[in-house]
Amino acid sequence: MKTILLTGGTGFIGSHVAVELLQLGYNVVIFDNLSNSKIEVLDRVEVITGKRPSFVKLDLCNYEDLDKAFKMYRIDSVIHFAGLKSVGESVTKPLDTYENNLVSTINLIKVMSTHGVKNLIFSSSATVYSSAKHFPVSEETPTIAINPYGNTKKIIEEILSDITIADNEWSITILRYFNPAGAHSSGLIGEDPNGIPTNLFPIITGVANRKYDRIKVFGNDYPTKDGTCIRDYIHVVDLAKGHVAALTNTLNGYNVFNLGSGVGYSVLETIKAFENVTGIEIPYEITARRTGDIPVSYADPQKANKQLDWKAELSLEDMCRDAWNWQLKNNNMNNSN
Ligand code: WQD
């Protein structure tokens, strides 16, 4: 069976992809510097699947370490998750995000080339659609970034496109995630950000768990059904299966796919869904808009549905249920409240 390298594989998305791949019989190797994840994830992946991924702690920005580790395994394909993903930190300390995300990716491509491995899936983001004016958003929508984090995704996509033009032996698939949420149904792996979370779902579960007294809803004066922003939440297990679909439907050259449910929910609708699923009231207050938020973002997932034979199956209610189950079983998370 093939061996798949997951850079950043102990993170939120990567760990769920590791579970899906191991359960399908793939060999999984993880390289991670553990800057925003915990080594215990390996134990939990093993409990879920009965198999333990191979693991090397390393920073992809260190070319020598990466090259030395890469040649220890016979890698068939790489899924590149590793990168700094805090929008806020990318604004306050842009050079850290640019250096980390770009240098790590360039090193990875150089090492893959050196060892003749030219199958890559890249973890991108719908944040590159920040100027979208028409919805649902398709892959043809022009990309523009409104923050350094999103710009690293856009720049990396352009680098990868140029590589496939220069060398047609490369197969590079770009997966643009909309809003990942939820957790594995076991409650053993899930979203566990360092520091105080900024994404909506971990804030909701933190309020439900009384780590925070209420949610600040960033604006209710947007041009939407209830004035709050609309997003396309996609269950992290659906997202993980989208990576398996991309791996098994390897296409030649450079291909881009939106991974979203195709359905948009407002902030207030999402809060209400969580309350309905759990029976827990989620207090909130309307505050000023958050800089950089766009009013509406939801995917047209038809291209992935057809070409990858993949479709998101789990509902917003499933995401609420599984996110809450994860929070309940991991009270130690979000420790910095
Ligand atoms: C969702 C909605 C907020 C928190 C971000 C990144 C994006 C991607 C996914 C990496 C927005 C509102 C949130 C809160 C709120 N990450 N909200 N109060 O901003 O769509 O996307 O995560 O790839 O790159 O930008 O997700 O969960 O932060 O916000 O009102 O305390 O919830 O305004 O409308 P976002 P989010």
Ligand 1, pocket residues at CB < 6 Å: 85, 87, 125, 127, 179, 198-200, 203, 215-218, 229, 231, 267, 290, 293
pLDDT of residue 337: 34
pLDDT of residue 132: 79
Number of other residues whose CB lies within 10 A of the CB of residue 317: 12
Spacing, Cα 198 to ligand 1 middle (Å): 7
Nearest CA owner, ligand 1 atom 36: 199
Spacing, Cα 249 to ligand 1 middle (Å): 30
Nearest CA owner, ligand 1 atom 7: 127
DSSP per residue, 34-93: -SSS-THHHHHHHHHHS---EEEE--TT-HHHHHHHHTTS--SEEEE--S---HHHHHHS
Task: Summarize pLDDT for 239-272 with one digit per residue, the tens.
Answer: 999 999 999 997 899 999 999 999 999 999 999 9
Q: pTM of the prediction?
A: 0.97
Q: In whole angstroms, what is the distance from residue 205 CA to residue 25 CA?
A: 33
Instruction: Return the percentage of the chain with pLDDT > 70, whole number.
Output: 98
Residue to mutate, 147, 267, 320, ligand 1, most ligand atoms under 8 Å from C-beta: 267
Atom of ligand 1 nearest to the CA of 180: 9
Nearest CA owner, ligand 1 atom 27: 199
pLDDT of residue 134: 85
Write out the H or E segment, with its range, that includes residue 288.
none
Q: Which residues belong to the active site?
A: 149
Q: Are 170 and 159 in contact (CB under 8 A)?
A: no
Spacing, Cα 38 to ligand 1 middle (Å): 23
Structure tokens at 145: 């970034």
Task: Summarize pLDDT for 51-102 with one digit per residue, the tens.
Answer: 999 999 999 999 999 999 999 999 999 999 999 999 999 999 999 999 999 9
Q: What's the mean pLDDT in 279-298?
A: 96
Q: In whole angstroms, what is the distance from residue 238 CA to residue 248 CA?
A: 15
